[in-house]
């Protein structure tokens, strides 16, 4: 293990070093990875020159090194021979419960005891969607390390803007399993806007219409001087090219008079449906041929017009979110500068036509709809690791769904409304219903509907340790925070007594920390020793980060914002931390960091306020006149 380098107090740190960062588009059908090469964002190809990695994982077995899998093109080719062990479109199952995913699925789903997460039964054992996605991410990670020739500092991973909390959390868990340091989850349409906006530099209001393999997003953004401000977003996290394939599959099954196709036949028909769809974007007609077995072949001809009639209701379904996004953004079609098409499904002529009619403008299709998201993510990753390529760039995104709480009578009370800029924090006060009540159950939901049963259950938790009082006397303030990744966290406090109540948030369809820990241990990248070493290393890195940051802060603002006593106290704390970080007691280092945090919190707060004042300084001068 490399020794930790810590510079002398007051000394500036090493010269600026270019850090390796990647952007990953973890798609329903295909996934991509991109990185910045001498200022230019490019997708990275595999050794055969393929940029797209089919999001397909074939499970072959399991040994001490974890799952044996085939990922990508090979897995895709094996899918029709080994359909039950070859997982396609796993993104549709992320953060979802059993009821949501059974439809149109050929897999054998099971739920284990003590877990709410559905798993797919394979020859390698029962695997969750998170683990399947982790296999895809591992492949992309490996590809990047080989291409870039070094360890990765971190990754930005994109998710559909309309993904809810459970789906985002599942994506982050998958990255953790794959051993990736997630710098940020960003929304796919926002990433596309970054790629597009930085490409053309055009200011104004842009609409991103993103129809992928399994999800649909519409985002309306305003671009001003490097700031990408999302005005509104809407969509459908279960509508995409796959659904068009399903419509066509149903048609084939009916026309060919197939009774209850088995998994292999169904996989074959689904593949034919996808190919036909793609052909009909290029040609007016397509010939289909299905091998029914026993030397029976079914053949048919399908015209684009017939196909369009089948899929039109689904495309029309995407216009409802478009209308809502316009309304939430408070703009008219006239205000829109352009509509950018993203996602493989926007190659379909009917999609382009209907979107063009809806927004009364010819949609832009000149950027590669497959690659644009990964490229935008790579740009943002580069900014986040501090490579200063697009220094002035800032993304201001929103939360796609309202966050609410269950109240009496099964109604949802909204705490944070959809399309609120993130990060956001809102507090809500609660009181007790009965005398002497010491606990209360809180149910958090996401969605727009009034009835709890129509919203998605996010989490249930219990507030405990409320001091016994008469009914209605306690005042419990619960704070809901959505961070820059769009993820929710909750904290609570009883205000009259000052008691911090313990909260355990149980994600309704998420893996528990224990389950993730077990998966990490099972996977070959982290044998038990490795986990301990890794934890120590992580905490040492954080220690060096704290020391580095504090030294820089002292140099910059120590004289201005601190008294000499305060400076002495902080210097001493830094020295102690440096000493402790040299040893390998993970817990001691962690505790010391916490102690240093406590001592320096006020300083950090003052620095934050000072930087706000500095940001406003230019404006303030004008005010003086």
Partner 1 sequence: MSNNLKNSMADNYFSLLGLPVSFDVDKAKLIQNYHEIQKSIHPDKFANATALERRLSVQKAAQINDALETLKNPIQCSIYLLSLYGIELGANDSNIDPEFLMEQMELRENLSEVGDKDDPLSELDNIMDDVSSRIKQAINVLGTLFQKLSFNDEKVENDEHLLKEAKAQVLKLQFLNRLQEECLNKEEDLAEQF
Residues 395-434 close enough to bind partner 1 by CB under 8 A: 395-396, 420-425
Residue 587 in contact with partner 1, rule: CB under 8 A: no
Residue 322 in contact with partner 1, rule: CB under 8 A: no
State the nearest-atom distance from the C-beta of 620 to partner 1, in Å: 6
- Candidates 493, 530, 490; CA nearest to 507 is 490
Residue 516 in contact with partner 1, rule: CB under 8 A: no
Determine which residue in the list 71, 127, 194, 383 makes contact with partner 1, applying CB under 8 A.
Answer: 383
Determine which residue in the list 115, 428, 481, 512 makes contact with partner 1, applying CB under 8 A.
Answer: 481
Residues 6+ apart with CB under 8 A from 400: 161, 162, 163, 164, 233, 234, 235, 418, 419, 486
- Candidates 571, 546, 557; CA nearest to 603 is 557
Determine which residue in the list 37, 102, 327, 434 makes contact with partner 1, applying CB under 8 A.
Answer: 327
- Could you give the string, one character per residue 181-220, with x where binding to partner 1 holds by CB under 8 A and - elsewhere? --xx------------------------------------
Residues 6+ apart with CB under 8 A from 31: 24, 25, 52, 53, 54, 55, 136, 140
Q: Name which of 92 and 379 has its Cβ closer to partner 1.
A: 379
Determine which residue in the list 57, 177, 220, 546 makes contact with partner 1, applying CB under 8 A.
Answer: 546
**Does 397 participate in catalysis according to the annotation?**
no
Q: From CA 232, how far away is CA 220, in angstroms rounded?
A: 5
Per DSSP, 72 falls in state S
Q: Where are the beta strands (DSSP E) in 84-226?
A: 86-88, 109-111, 118-122, 125-128, 154-159, 182-187, 204-211, 216-224
Residues 6+ apart with CB under 8 A from 432: 440, 466, 469, 471, 472, 473, 474
Residue 385 in contact with partner 1, rule: CB under 8 A: yes
Task: List b or e across 262-298, with b for residues whose CB sees 16 or more CB atoms inside 10 angstroms.
Answer: eebbbbbbbbbbbebbbbbbeeeebebebeeeeeeee
The window from 91-99, 191-199, 348-356, 388-396 that contacts partner 1 (CB under 8 A) reads: 388-396
Per DSSP, 370 falls in state T
**Does 338 participate in catalysis according to the annotation?**
no
Determine which residue in the list 320, 411, 471, 568 makes contact with partner 1, applying CB under 8 A.
Answer: 320
Residues 139-168 close enough to bind partner 1 by CB under 8 A: 154
Residue 392 in contact with partner 1, rule: CB under 8 A: yes
State the nearest-atom distance from the C-beta of 118 to partner 1, in Å: 31
Determine which residue in the list 535, 545, 582, 587 makes contact with partner 1, applying CB under 8 A.
Answer: 545
Contact 249, 268 (CB under 8 A): no
The window from 132-140, 249-257, 393-401, 490-498 that contacts partner 1 (CB under 8 A) reads: 393-401
3-state secondary structure of 473: coil
- Cα→Cα distances 308→72, 352, 354, Å: 30, 12, 11
Q: Name which of 183 and 348 has its Cβ closer to partner 1.
A: 183
Q: Name which of 77 and 181 has its Cβ closer to partner 1.
A: 181
3-state secondary structure of 441: strand
**Does 454 participate in catalysis according to the annotation?**
no
Our measurement of the distance from residue 199's CA atom to the centroid of its chain's CA atoms, rounded to an integer in Å, reads 24
Residue 384 in contact with partner 1, rule: CB under 8 A: yes
The window from 95-103, 224-232, 285-293, 508-516 that contacts partner 1 (CB under 8 A) reads: 224-232
State the nearest-atom distance from the C-beta of 22 to partner 1, in Å: 14
Q: Name which of 110 and 451 has its Cβ closer to partner 1.
A: 451
Cβ neighbours around 518 below 10 Å, total: 12
Residue 588 in contact with partner 1, rule: CB under 8 A: no
Residue 506 in contact with partner 1, rule: CB under 8 A: no
3-state secondary structure of 504: coil
**Does 506 participate in catalysis according to the annotation?**
no
Residue 27 token pair: 């798609």
Question: Which residues sit at the interface with partner 1, rule CB under 8 A?
Answer: 154, 183-184, 224-225, 227, 320, 323-324, 327, 380, 383-386, 392, 394-396, 420-425, 481, 483-484, 542, 545-546, 549, 593, 597, 600-601, 604-605, 608, 611-612, 614-616, 618-620, 623
Which of the residues are catalytic? 25, 91, 188, 210
């Amino acid at each position: 293990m490399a020794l930790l380098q810590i510079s002398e107090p007051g000394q500036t740190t090493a010269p600026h070093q270019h850090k390796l960062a990647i952007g990953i588009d973890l798609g329903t059908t295909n996934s991509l990875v991109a990185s910045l090469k001498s200022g230019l964002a490019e997708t990275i190809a595999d050794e055969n020159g393929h940029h797209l990695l089919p999001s397909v994982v074939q499970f072959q077995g399991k040994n001490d090194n974890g799952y044996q899998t085939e990922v990508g093109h090979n897995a895709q080719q094996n899918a029709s021979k080994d359909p039950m062990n070859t997982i396609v479109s796993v993104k549709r199952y992320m953060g979802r419960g059993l009821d949501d995913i059974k439809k149109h699925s050929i897999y054998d789903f099971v739920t284990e005891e003590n877990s709410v997460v559905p798993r797919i039964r394979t020859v390698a054992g029962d695997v969750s969607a998170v683990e399947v996605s982790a296999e895809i991410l591992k492949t992309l990670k490996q590809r990047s390390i080989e291409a870039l020739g070094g360890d990765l500092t971190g990754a930005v991973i994109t998710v559909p803007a309309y993904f809810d909390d459970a789906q985002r959390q599942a994506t982050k868990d998958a990255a953790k399993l794959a051993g990736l340091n997630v710098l940020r989850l960003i929304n796919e349409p926002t990433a596309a806007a970054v790629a597009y906006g930085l490409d053309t530099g055009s200011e104004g209001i842009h609409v991103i219409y993103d129809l992928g393999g399994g999800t649909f997003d519409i985002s309306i953004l305003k671009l001003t001087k490097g700031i990408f401000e999302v005005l509104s977003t809407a969509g459908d996290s279960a509508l995409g090219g796959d659904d068009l394939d399903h419509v066509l599959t149903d048609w084939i099954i009916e026309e060919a008079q197939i009774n209850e196709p088995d998994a292999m036949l169904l996989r074959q028909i689904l593949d034919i449906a996808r190919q036909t769809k793609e052909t009909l974007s290029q040609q007016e007609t397509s010939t289909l041929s299905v091998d029914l077995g026993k030397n029976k072949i079914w053949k048919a001809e399908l015209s684009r017009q017939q196909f369009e009639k089948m899929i039109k209701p689904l495309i029309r379904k995407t216009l409802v979110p478009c209308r809502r996004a316009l309304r939430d953004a408070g703009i008219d079609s006239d205000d829109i500068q352009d509509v950018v098409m993203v996602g493989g499904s926007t190659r379909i002529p009917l999609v382009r036509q209907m979107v063009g009619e809806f927004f009364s403008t010819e949609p832009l299709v000149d950027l590669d709809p497959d690659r644009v998201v990964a490229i935008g993510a790579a740009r943002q990753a580069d900014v986040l690791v501090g490579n200063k390529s697009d220094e002035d760039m800032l993304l201001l995104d929103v939360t796609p769904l309202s966050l609410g709480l269950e109240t009496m009578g099964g109604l949802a009370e909204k705490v944070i409304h959809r399309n609120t800029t993130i990060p956001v924090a809102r507090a809500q006060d609660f009181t007790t219903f009965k005398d002497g009540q010491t606990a209360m159950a809180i149910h958090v939901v996401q969605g727009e509907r009034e009835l709890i049963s129509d919203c998605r259950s996010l989490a249930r938790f219990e507030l405990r340790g409320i001091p016994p009082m008469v009914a209605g006397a306690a005042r419990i303030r619960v704070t809901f925070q959505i961070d820059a990744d769009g993820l929710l966290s909750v904290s609570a406090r009883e205000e009259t007594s000052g008691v911090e109540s313990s909260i355990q948030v149980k994600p309704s369809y998420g893996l528990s920390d224990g389950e993730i820990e077990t998966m990490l241990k099972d996977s070959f990248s982290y044998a038990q020793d490795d986990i301990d070493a890794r934890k120590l290393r992580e905490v040492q890195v954080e220690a060096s980060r704290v020391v580095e940051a504090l030294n820089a802060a002292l140099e910059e603002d120590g004289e201005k914002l601190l008294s000499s006593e305060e400076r002495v106290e902080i210097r001493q704390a830094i020295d102690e931390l440096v000493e402790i970080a040299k040893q390998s007691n993970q817990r001691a280092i962690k505790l010391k960091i916490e102690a240093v945090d406590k001592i320096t919190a006020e300083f950090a707060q003052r620095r934050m306020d000072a930087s706000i004042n500095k940001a406003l300084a230019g404006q303030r001068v004008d005010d003086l006149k």
